[in-house]
Chain A
C-alpha cells in the first residue's frame, strides 16, 4: 500500500496523532493507558524528564553504559600499548634510569584516556545511535505541538505506522484520555533532486569562493606570513652575517683583528722560523713520549707525511714519481740530526719543496710526529743490522 493510497488528501503522508495533556501526572497516566491499549510506536513528550514515566511506558533499561565501559578500557589499553611501542620499541629512551617500559608512569595517562575515550564515545553513541540525531527533518519538528512541549506542554504522539493505529479510533481514544489538543501531523513533502542541487549556481559559487579563499590563505600563509617576524624564529637575529658590512665600525669589518701581540690558544711564539741551525741547536722535544703520543704521531704521520715520505719514512710512497722524491729519513745524517730539525721542517717546510704544515698540525702533534719518526728510524735500523754493515 503506497503512502498516497493511504492518504488521499494531496499525497501528504500522515506521521501520526499528537495529543497534549495538562500536567505531568496526567501524562504518566495517559502513557500507561496507551501501553495498555497495545500501541508500540508512540512516544511521550515532556519539557523535562519525568520520574515514573519510564516505568509507565514499560521502557527497557538502557545499556548505553556498556559503551562507556568498552571505550574506556580501549582508551586505557591503547595508551599503554602506544607508550610501550614509542618508548621501548620505536625509539627506546632511558628516562631517569628507569626501564624502557616504565608502566607506573603511564597510569595517570591511562586513566585520562579511559575517561576521554569513554566520554566521547558515550556522547557520540548517545547522539548518533541511541537518539538518531542530528535530524532536523522529523515531522514533529517546528509543529505547534513541539513548540508547546519545549515550553511547558506534556504530550503523547502515536505514529501512523503502528499496527493498531486507526485515524479515527486513535483520535477518539486520545480524546477520551482527557487530551486537550489532538492534532494530525504529516510528513513534510519536498522534492529533492541531487543533480539539480549540484548544478545550482549558488552551490558552484560557494565552492569556487571556498577554493579561492583556501588556496589564497594557504599561499599567503606559507609563502609570505611565515617569512615575517615573529615566525622567523632564530633566523632573524641582531648580528652581522658573513659577507655583510658592519654599520658599527668605520672600516666596515664586523670581525676585528686581534690586538698586537695576541697569542693564539695552543701556540707559543716561535723564534727559529727558517733557521734550521738555530732550531737544531735550541729546540728540544717538550712532549714526553707515551702510548697516546706515539699513536697520535703515527696517525698524523700517516695522514700528512706518508703521501710523500711513505709509511716507513723511506721515501717509497704512493705519490712517487708525481712529486719530487723526498730523501729517506733513514740516512745517517738525518738519523743523527737533532729533533729541532724535524720540528722546523714540519713547521716551515723545506727549501720550497716541502710546504709548511703549521696550519694543519698543532704544535704538540708536530712534536708527536717527531717522536714517531724517531721510532720509525729505530725500527728500520736495528743495531745488529747496522753493525753488520
Chain B
C-alpha cells in the first residue's frame, strides 16, 4: 500500500527559523559584507545610472526653480501647497516604517525584524532627507529657512510657538536626529566588524573613526543593549507624534476636508502603510540583487505583507469615517467636498487611490499571493502610487475650491513639479544603492544573535529576552 500524499505538512508548534540553512557566523559576515567588499555587478551600475539620472533631472528642475522662482511650479493661490507639500508628507510617511520596524517591533520582541531593521532605518533617514527638502524649496528662497528656528533676530519677533508649522520643524528634525542616532548606534558593532575585516588602508581608517574603537566587550554590551531599548522606547511615541504633528498642519486649519479630528491617527496609519509598501519594494529588489534570500526570507516578506494588510484596513476605516463624519455632521460644505472628491475634477485620482490602498491590498489575505514575489512587488508599487495620490487628493481637493467661487482654480502640475518629484526618488534610491554598497545592509550582530545556538540554553531566563 503506497502512502497517500497530503501535501506539505506544516509543523505549527514551532516558528520557522529566522535565518535559513543555519549558516556559520562567519558566513553571515561574509554574505552581508560582500556587497561592500566585492566589485559590484553591472546590474548595480545600471541601477545607479538610472537613479543618478533621476537625481540629475531633479537637480535641473531645482536649478530652474531657484533661478526663475516658484512660478515654475503649478502652485498658485488657492492651491499654494501643490506638489511640494504632497511630496513632503509622502516622504515623511515612507520614513515612518523604518522606526516602526526597528523600534516598535523591537519592543514587541518580534525578532524577525533583525533581517530588515537596518535597511528600514536607513530608508527612514533617506526618506526624511527627501521630505525635509520640500518645505525648504517651497520657500523659494531656501536660505530664509533659518527663520523657522527660534533664533534672536534684528526685528525682535520670535517664532510662533502656537503654529503647527513650527511644531513640524521641531518634530521632523527631532525625528531625523533620533533616527540617525538609532541607526548609528546599531551600526557601531557592525562597523567594528568591517574594520577588522577590511584590508584596504583608507577604508580601515574610515571604519576606525566610525566604529569609535568598539571592542565587543560584554561590559559595553550591557549598557549598549539598555540604551537600545531606551532609544526604541523614545522612538516609538516619537514616530506617532511626528505624523500626528504633520497632520496638525492640516487639521488645525479650518478648511473643509482638513479640519477633522481623525487626521492624526489616519495620517499615522497611512504613514506606516506607505512605509511598509516602500520597504517591501526596496527589500524585494535588494535581496535579489545582493543574494540575501536566506537572511531576508520568504517568511519575512510574508510577515511584512500581513502587517501591510492590517494597516491597509486601518486606512480603509479612515477612508470610510471621513465621508461618514462629513455626512453625520450635517455640514453642507463638508459633504459637498466629499462628493467633489468622488465625482469632481480629481475623481480619477480619488478612485485610483481607493483602489490601490483599500482594494488591492485585500489580495494579501491569500498566502499564495503573499508568497508570490512578483505579485507582492506589484502590490507594493501600487501601494506607493496610492499613498502618494492620497496626499495629493487631500491637499488639492480641499484647496482648489476656495471659499469664493471666483477664486476657484484647477491645479495643474508643471514639468518642473514632476522633475523635482522624480529627483526626490532619484535621491532616495541613489542613497539606498550607495548605502547597500558601502555599509552592512543587515545587522550582522543581530542576525548572529538570532541564529540557532546563539545563546546558551540552560540559563534561566535565557528565553525571556
| Chain A interfacial positions (CB closer than 8 Å to B) | 23-25, 28, 31, 43-55, 57, 59, 62, 64-65, 68, 72, 82-83, 86-87, 90-91, 93, 95-96, 98, 102, 105-106, 108-109, 111-113, 115-116, 118-120, 122-123, 126-127, 130-131, 133-138, 140-142, 146-147, 149-152, 229-231, 233
Contacts and interface: CB of A to CB of B under 8 A. Distances in A.
Contacts of A229: 67
Nearest to A229: B67
Contact of B170 (A91, A112, A137, A138): A112
Given A49-B449, A119-B231, A65 B213 contact: no
B287 to A, nearest CB: 22
By Cβ-Cβ distance, the 6 closest A-B pairs, closest first, are A152-B25, A52-B459, A134-B212, A86-B158, A48-B449, A49-B221
Q: Which of B167, B192, B218, B223 gathers the greatest number of chain A CB atoms within 10 Å?
A: B218
B227 A120 contact: no
B185 A47 contact: no
Given A52-B456, A133-B213, 8 more contacts: A25-B458, A31-B218, A49-B221, A49-B222, A135-B212, A141-B215, A146-B196, A230-B141
A116 B461 CA distance: 33
A75 to B, nearest CB: 10
B32 to A, nearest CB: 12
Contacts of A95: 160, 162-163
A331 to B, nearest CB: 58
B226 to A, nearest CB: 5
A86 B150 contact: yes
Nearest to A139: B215
Contact of B212 (A96, A98, A127, A149): A127
Interface stretch (B7-15, B121-129, B173-181): B173-181
A228 to B, nearest CB: 10
Contacts of B234: 68, 72, 115, 118-119
A103 B222 CA distance: 40
A91 B151 CA distance: 13
Q: Is the interface of B mostly helix, strand, loop or mixed?
A: helix
Contact of A149 (B163, B216, B225): B216
Interface stretch (B34-42, B237-245, B308-316): B237-245
B230 interface: yes
B197 A28 contact: no
14 contacts: A25-B457, A51-B455, A51-B462, A64-B227, A87-B158, A87-B161, A113-B174, A115-B178, A115-B238, A133-B214, A135-B213, A141-B215, A151-B25, A230-B67
A93 B69 CA distance: 32
A24 B25 CA distance: 12
Given A24-B454, A105-B161, A119-B177, A45 B448 contact: no
Contacts of B159: 86
Contacts of A50: 218, 454-456
B161 A106 contact: yes
A68 B444 CA distance: 27
B213 A138 contact: yes
B178 A45 contact: no
A48 B445 contact: yes
Most A Cβ at <10 Å: residue of B181, B192, B226, B465: B226
A68 B448 CA distance: 29
Nearest to B458: A25
B127 to A, nearest CB: 19
Given A47-B25, A50-B218, A122 B459 contact: no
